[in-house]
């Protein structure tokens, strides 16, 4: 505090000499007056937010080196802070630039993409991802010689600054584009060997390992104990997120000693089942094999559960949340860990989180082009942009036919992945193919019937496609499997009840949500109107006017065609339900778009 007082006193002296105030302070806060203070870093981030070719060029001129260069030796503690802060600033700047480079666009002759990559290379000449952007761009423009020269530049800079070589994935960009009969540009004495290695790296995604051990489940064991174990193993398998290993033992005499293993960075675990014939209960123990730690040990009394499936779902959820939750630490750079980090960001339902997720997904696609969920996730993010928070520059997003192609590609790569089928269903729905969408949602529900999140999403999709009865059954099952129901799923359930014409129940659930999305607000307004409460609907709009006016302004929704937004937000395929929901859409359009809304 004494150092802070001295610093403020010196600043005040400088302000008196300058003749204007820069610092605003109170008893508990200190801040800079942005109207009086100009910061080059702030200007840089504003330029990167716009992300046009001329913005990248101005940003390149503005970048003069690391944050606060030349201030390293002021004080050891300050130096420690500065090192961390420099990494944060650099990461923020690089992330902001890459947001505009997710798609290699040549509409402007590649000027924007080239300027963005050149800016990144000024920050770090050895940034391999930026070199890849330029190689892809030049190949897309048909300028193979420039692409080859860029690879040589990448090699030179990485050797100079990192004493390293480009990844095989970088070299493979030119291999894949090589004309028939032309020798590929690969710095290797045996290009065939390099290709094999690349294909192996491209196709193999390592997963967390779970070894399953069953003790004291003899022929005379209660049948429910075996069924519970089978239900849990099948449930874990349906996530497609684990390498499962089965080992059956009959009696303690043949049980091997517990041993630690050298696990990989995704985790290695042991799942034990044991039935107590005296009390009829089943013990389930989950252990970390790398350090022997017992993560949880639960005694399952099936008489306390409504169904065997509900009891199994409890254990499956604990395993899934713990195992994938550990991988969400950004320090873990393994491919599946990166996927877990991207998936967690997607559940934020926030534009900035989705941009971060897209960056991770693009990195995964570069190295693992056969990882199917990358494509379904990108399709889902772009659909959210179209519906919930459209971006201001529509050229940076994908059109609906491109989104449908992404989801189709994901299903082609792996039709047994529930998320791929769900993404395909939503893309089909938006493309006015409700019958095909319904089949995709049903398939997703069959592929994983123990994950409540999957079931609730499937239920909403079925309701919107017109299959209300199955939707209600799936939703009720999902709600029974949740240990704690996330608030976002109340919005899903509200849409299902709206499709069932139970408007009062729909209102009860939508009022429990956080009400952050325009679609959630529209559902509430539509339910109020259909329940004969138009006056209350207007009161709700007036009450939340400021909150949603900011949503419209900050997400680019205000620049979008109101009628186009109205079509995209109304997912309901049944004609009567769609007409009822349109009443809410019309009122929301009139309130937020004003004279621009056409009726």
Q: Is 244 helix (H, G, I), strand (E, B) or coil?
A: strand
Mean pLDDT, the chain, rounded, equals 82
Count of beta carbons in the 10 Å neighbourhood of residue 504: 11
| pLDDT number for residue 548 | 59
Q: What is the pLDDT of residue 2?
A: 77
Residue 191 binned pLDDT confidence (cut-offs 50, 70, 90): very low
Closest alpha carbon to 242 in 285, 197, 212: 212
Render pLDDT for 322-369 as a digit per residue (tens, 0 to 9): 999 999 988 888 999 999 999 999 988 777 888 899 999 999 998 888
Tens of pLDDT along 429-464? 988 898 999 999 999 999 999 899 999 999 999 999
pLDDT at 181: 44
**Mean pLDDT throughout 269-289?**
87
d(CA 375, CA 352): 19
Give the three-class secondary structure for 321.
helix
Architecture of 209-326 per CATH?
A: 3-Layer(aba) Sandwich (3.40)
Residue 166 to residue 182: CA distance in whole angstroms: 22
Confidence bin at 475 (pLDDT 50/70/90) = very high
Higher pLDDT, 167 or 107: 167
Position 404 pLDDT exceeds 80: yes
Strands laid side by side in the 281-288 sheet: 243-248, 209-215, 268-276, 281-288, 294-300
pLDDT, greater one: 194 or 149: 149
Long-range contacts from 46-53, C-beta under 8 angstroms, 24+ separation? 48/93, 48/96, 48/97, 48/99, 48/100, 49/96, 51/97, 51/99, 51/100, 51/112, 51/116, 51/393, 51/396, 52/112, 53/108, 53/111, 53/112, 53/114, 53/115
Tokens of 278: 């005296």
pTM over 0.75: no
User: What is the model's pLDDT at position 470?
Assistant: 94
Is the domain spanning 41-202 CATH 1.25.40? The answer is yes
Q: At what angle do helices 372-387 and 418-430 cross, to 10 degrees?
A: 40
Q: Which residues pair with 38 in a beta bridge?
A: none
335-448: CATH topology is: 1.25.40
Contacts of 202 (CB under 8 A, 6+ apart): 169, 367, 368, 369, 370
CB 434 within 8 A of CB 573: yes
Please give the average per-residue pLDDT across 554-566, as a whole number. Answer: 61
pLDDT at 195 over 70: no
Instruction: Pinpoint the residues of the chain covered by CATH 1.25.40.10.
Output: 335-448
- Average pLDDT for 566-576: 86
Q: Where are the alpha helices (DSSP H) in 63-162?
A: 76-98, 111-123, 128-140, 144-162
Which range of 22-36, 371-385, 389-403 scores highest in mean pLDDT? It is: 371-385
**Does the pLDDT of residue 420 top 80, yes or no?**
yes
Out of 157-161, 314-318, 552-556, pick the least confident.
552-556
In the chain, ranges of CATH 3.40.50 domains: 209-326
Q: Give residue 493's pLDDT.
A: 93
Q: Are 136 and 150 in contact (CB under 8 A)?
A: no
pLDDT-based confidence at residue 135 (cuts at 50, 70, 90): very high
Higher pLDDT, 553 or 245: 245
Angstrom CA distances, 56 to 51, 112, 493, 540, stand at: 6, 8, 44, 43
Confidence (pLDDT) at 216 = 57
């Amino acid at each position: 505090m004494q150092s802070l007082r001295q610093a403020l006193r010196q600043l005040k002296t400088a302000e008196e000499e300058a003749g204007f105030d820069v610092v605003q302070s109170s008893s508990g806060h200190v801040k800079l007056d942005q109207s009086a203070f100009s910061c080059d870093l702030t200007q840089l981030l504003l330029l990167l937010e716009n992300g046009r070719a001329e913005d990248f060029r101005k940003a390149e001129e503005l970048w003069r080196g690391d944050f606060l260069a030349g201030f390293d030796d002021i004080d050891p503690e300050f130096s420690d802070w500065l090192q961390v802060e420099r990494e944060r600033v650099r990461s923020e700047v690089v992330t902001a630039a890459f947001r505009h480079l997710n798609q290699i666009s040549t509409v402007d002759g590649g000027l924007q993409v080239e300027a963005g990559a050149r800016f990144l290379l000024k920050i770090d000449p050895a940034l391999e991802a930026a070199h890849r952007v330029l190689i892809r761009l030049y190949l897309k423009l048909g300028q193979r010689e420039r692409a080859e020269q860029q690879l040589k530049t990448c090699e030179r800079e990485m050797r100079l600054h990192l004493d390293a070589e480009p990844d095989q994935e970088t070299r493979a960009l030119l291999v894949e584009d090589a004309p028939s009969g032309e020798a590929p540009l690969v710095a290797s004495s045996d290009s065939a060997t390099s290709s094999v290695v690349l294909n192996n790296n491209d196709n193999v995604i390592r997963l967390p390992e779970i070894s399953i051990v069953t003790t004291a489940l003899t022929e005379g064991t209660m049948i429910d104990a075996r069924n519970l174990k089978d239900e849990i193993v099948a449930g874990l398998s349906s996530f497609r997120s684990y390498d499962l290993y089965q080992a059956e033992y009959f009696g303690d005499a043949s049980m091997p000693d517990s041993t630690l293993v050298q696990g990989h960075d995704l985790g290695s675990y042991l799942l034990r089942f044991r039935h107590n014939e005296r009390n009829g209960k089943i013990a389930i123990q989950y252990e970390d094999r790398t350090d022997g730690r017992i993560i949880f040990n639960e005694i399952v009394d099936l008489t306390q559960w409504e169904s065997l499936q509900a009891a199994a779902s409890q254990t499956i959820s604990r395993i899934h949340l713990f195992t994938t939750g550990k991988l969400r630490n950004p320090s873990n750079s393994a491919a599946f860990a990166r996927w877990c980090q991207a998936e967690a960001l997607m559940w934020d339902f926030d534009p900035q989180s989705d941009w971060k997720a897209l960056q991770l997904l693009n990195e995964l696609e570069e190295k693992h082009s056969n990882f199917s969920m990358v494509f379904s996730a990108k399709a889902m993010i772009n659909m959210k942009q179209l519906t919930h928070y459209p971006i201001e520059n529509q050229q940076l997003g994908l059109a609906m036919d491109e989104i449908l192609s992404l989801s189709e590609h994901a299903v082609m790569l792996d039709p047994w992945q529930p998320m791929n089928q769900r993404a395909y269903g939503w893309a089909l729905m938006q493309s006015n193919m409700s019958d095909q969408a319904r089949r995709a949602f049903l398939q997703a529900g069959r592929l994983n019937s123990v994950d409540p999140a999957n079931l609730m999403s499937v239920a909403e999709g079925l309701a919107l496609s017109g299959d209300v009865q199955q939707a209600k059954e799936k939703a009720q099952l999902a709600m029974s499997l949740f240990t704690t129901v996330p608030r976002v799923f109340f919005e899903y359930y509200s849409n299902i009840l709206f499709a069932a014409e139970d408007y009062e129940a729909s209102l009860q659930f939508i009022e429990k949500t956080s009400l952050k999305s325009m679609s959630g607000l529209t559902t509430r307004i539509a339910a109020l109107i259909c329940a004969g409460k138009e006056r209350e609907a207007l009161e709700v709009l007036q009450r939340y006017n400021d909150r949603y006016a900011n949503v419209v302004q900050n997400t680019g929704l205000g620049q979008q065609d109101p009628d186009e937004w109205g079509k995209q937000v109304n997912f309901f395929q049944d004609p009567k339900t769609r007409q009822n929901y349109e009443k809410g859409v019309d009122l929301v359009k009139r309130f937020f778009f004003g004279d621009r809304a056409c009726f």
